Amino acid sequence: MWAVAALALVLAAAGQFAIDRVPYVVQQPGYYLLTQDLNSSDYIAIVVNASGVVLDGGGHYLFGAGGYIGIYVVNAANVTVKDVKVAGFSYGILLENTTEARLLNIWVFRNARAGVEVDLSRQIRVESVRAEDNGEVGVRLYFVNGSILRDVVANGNGCGVSIDGALGVLAERLNVSDNECDGLVVGDSADVVVSQVVADRNAGSGVFIGSKNVELAQLSARGNSESGLVLLHADNARVRDVDAEGNGYSGVEVVKSRRVSLSRVSAVGNEYDGLSISFSEEVEAFNSSFVGNEVGAHIGRSSRVRLWLNNFVNNTWLNIEVCESSVELSSPGPLTYIYRGAAYFGRLGNYWSDSPSAGGLRGIGAVPYMVAVRDCKYFSALNYTADYFPLESPSWYYRLIAETPCRRAMGRSWGPGPPALVR
């Protein structure tokens, strides 16, 4: 006790403030330090309603005994909350109507609703946060603009991370696994960039995107009870480098979305479809692999779908199922590519493990791969589409060449100098 009192005097002499009791209200700028672990049964343990504040937990615990909010930052700007552990409240940390705030090196656990919630705020940075065993969600951003989530672990919560109604958010290096619903949800938002996400073994889907203009890269979505990745009303989405393996429904689902690009997707051993596209338009999937699912790709009631440079291998029922949809099974046009050491110019289809694709030229099979377009209800064949350029070998044997402006102007498939490889 004497040591705590002495520290408080030292901090006060330096124009800083010690927090050794709760409830506590920060009403002026400055540096505030928790000097010990604190227990609170109050409605709010610590309130920050001043700007220019650093609230340093000093590595201490803030425990709630039925309190509503552990740390509440409201109507403030330029606030940092760091190095604190918060548990036992409804909301561990809640920010509202706040600008230019940073949450750093925080552990929030066993809060009844949210570990961290940020509402109606902008320019927020949530970094190095661990959220575990929170009732509804580990970390939630609600109507938050121009903000960053980085190095966040949200495991064992209701849902892992939720971004809702946001604009211009960057979320990277997230681990959102073992949650009771979805790992990561991005809903009713726009211009969100997500990368380097591990979303494994969730009771819902690994990642659920219900927003426009989203970029997603480097996702592991394995062993989820539902689908690995779901895109719903996700117009203008660009997705690449996805490992969707062993999920209880589909590897990747695209539903009621337009202008979606999928590349370098590995969908392996999912219960139903490796890729499912339904009620969507202008969806392209290329340079991907769909292996060992019940159906490699299911396309239903969709239009202007294009699949090319993909591998459909050993799917147990069908490599591809198309019902009441328009599907192109080759590249948009002729491309320059290298196949087994030689350069060629032409269109590229897909590799089908059940296709007699040998005997052609330029690495392209001599026999088209025929696909029935069926009635979605009765599964009777209506007509047929075909991959007229089936690959003789898996797609990794084909390397695309980037055309230089000089080559395009000359109208040639091969120009002077070495080709630039597109990896």
Q: Is 329 part of a structural domain of the chain?
A: yes
Express each pLDDT in 137-187 by its tens digit: 999 999 999 999 999 999 999 999 999 999 999 999 999 999 999 999 999
Q: 10: part of which helix (H) or strand (E)?
A: helix 2-13
Domain tally, the chain: 1
pLDDT at 202: 99
Between CA 415 and CA 399 the distance in angstroms is 17
Find out whether 305 and 325 touch, Cβ atoms under 8 Å. Answer: yes
Residue 132: partners with Cβ closer than 8 Å, 6 or more residues away: 107, 108, 109, 110, 115, 138, 153, 154, 155, 156, 157
CATH of the domain at 252: 2.160.20.10
Express each pLDDT in 50-105 by its tens digit: 999 999 999 999 999 888 999 999 999 999 999 999 999 999 999 999 999 999 99
Q: Is 26 part of a structural domain of the chain?
A: no
Domain span at residue 217 reads 68-333+348-397
Express each pLDDT in 222-271 by its tens digit: 999 999 999 999 999 999 999 999 999 999 999 999 999 999 999 999 99
pLDDT at 361: 82
Q: Is 9 part of a structural domain of the chain?
A: no
Provide the token pair at 1.
């006790």
Buried b (16+ CB within 10 A) or exposed e, 3-38: eeeebbeebeeeeebbbeebebebeeebebbbbeeb
Q: Is 260 part of a structural domain of the chain?
A: yes
Q: Is 37 part of a structural domain of the chain?
A: no
Q: Is 74 part of a structural domain of the chain?
A: yes
Q: Is 152 part of a structural domain of the chain?
A: yes
Grade residue 283 by pLDDT with cuts at 50, 70 and 90.
Answer: very high
Express each pLDDT in 349-371 by its tens digit: 999 999 876 667 899 998 999 99
Find out whether 183 and 202 touch, Cβ atoms under 8 Å. Answer: yes
Q: Is 55 part of a structural domain of the chain?
A: no
Mean pLDDT computed over every residue of the chain? 92
pLDDT at 355: 84
